[in-house]
Structure 1
C-alpha cells in the first residue's frame, strides 16, 4: 500500500550502451504517467546500467510494469522491477566517506563490514580504480552513509580513522552538505 494514493516502483535495466537508450526509458515513464523521483545511469565497459525510482497512480505503475517486458525484448536489456514504498525518513545524520588506497581485493567488502558492524547504513556507493602516475592501481571509494543520531559521532570518527590507519587507507568522513 502507499501514501497519498501514490504507488512506487524501482526499475533496474542492464544492456548495451547506445544512443537514445535513456530517451527510450524516460519516454515510457512519461507515456505511462509515471514520475521519475530518482535515477542513475552508468556505463561500464560497453554495458549501460540504469536505475529508476518512480511514483504514480496505481494505473500508471501497472502500465509501466506491463510495458517493460516488450521494451526489454526490443532493446535486449535485462530489466527487473519491484514495487516499493517511499524512503522512510530515519533519525540519522547524513555523512560522506571518501577512501583512497592502493587497490587490492576485498577493500570494499572490508569497508562494508566496518559500517555494518557499527550499525550504519550505506545509502550510496561509487567506486573506481585508476592507474596513478607511478603505475600503481589505486581505488577511489565514495560512500554516502546515514549515522543513527543515537551514535556518538566523535566515537565513530575515531573508530573509522583507526580502522583506516591500520589498513593504510587515506580517508575522510565528513557531514554531507
Structure 2
C-alpha cells in the first residue's frame, strides 16, 4: 500500500532546487502528486505532496532530509489517513483593504468566525489606483459546511471595516 507524504521545502532560491527535490523523490519510487511553490524575498518555499511505496518511505524521508547539505531544508510527514468525512463546499474569496498591521490575523479570525476553513490563501500588497498607497489583497479558497450560506462568511469579513471590499464567488 502506498504512503502519502506532505512536505515543506525551503532554501535560498537558485536554479535547480526543484530538480534536486524531484530527483530524490523519483530515486525512491515516489510520485509527485500536488505542490505549491513560490519565491519570497529571495527564498524558495513550497509545499509538496508525494506518494511512495510504504517500503521506501523511510529511505525517501532520509533522502529528503539529506538535501540540507545542498541548501534545501525539507520536512516531510506521512499523511494520517483520509481527510475529514464532513461535507463541505468551497467558495473563492477576494478581499481588498488598506494595509495595516494585523490584517491577516483579523481576516483569519473573521473566516473562522464565519464557519470557514482556509484551503488556499495568497496575500500581497498592491499599489492603489490613483493614490499609490499600499493596498492589501487576499485571495483564496475557503471551505464552509455544506448547505451553509456564504453570506455569513461575507458578513463576518465585512465587519473588519468600511475600507474593505469582499467578493465571494
2:74 corresponds in structure 1 to: 79
1:148 corresponds in structure 2 to: 145
Separation in 2, partners of 1:105, 1:162? 17
Show structure 1 runs of 4+ deviating over 4 A.
none
CA displacement, residues 42-83 of structure 1 (integer Å, 9 cap, x when unaligned): 10111110211111211232221111222111x222221111
1:106 corresponds in structure 2 to: 102
Separation in 1, partners of 2:20, 2:96? 37
Q: Which runs of 5+ in 2 are unaligned?
A: none
Match of 1:42 among 38, 45, 68: 38
Please report how far the alpha carbon of residue 142 of structure 1 lies from its aligned counterpart in structure 2 after TM superposition: 0.7
Separation in 2, partners of 1:128, 1:155? 25
Report the number of matched residues: 167
TM-score (norm 1): 0.85
Separation in 1, partners of 2:99, 2:148? 30
2:168 corresponds in structure 1 to: 173
Query: Any idea what SS the aligned residue of 1:33 has?
Result: coil
Query: Any idea what SS the aligned residue of 2:159 has?
Result: helix
TM-score (norm 2): 0.88
Question: Which one has a larger percent helix, Structure 1 or Structure 2?
Answer: 1
Separation in 2, partners of 1:156, 1:109? 16
CA displacement, residues 22-58 of structure 1 (integer Å, 9 cap, x when unaligned): 1111121111111122111110111110211111211
1:9 corresponds in structure 2 to: 5
Q: Which runs of 5+ in 1 are unaligned?
A: none
2:27 corresponds in structure 1 to: 31
| Change over 3 Å in CA distance of 1:92–1:66 after alignment to 2 | same
Match of 1:58 among 54, 57, 60: 54
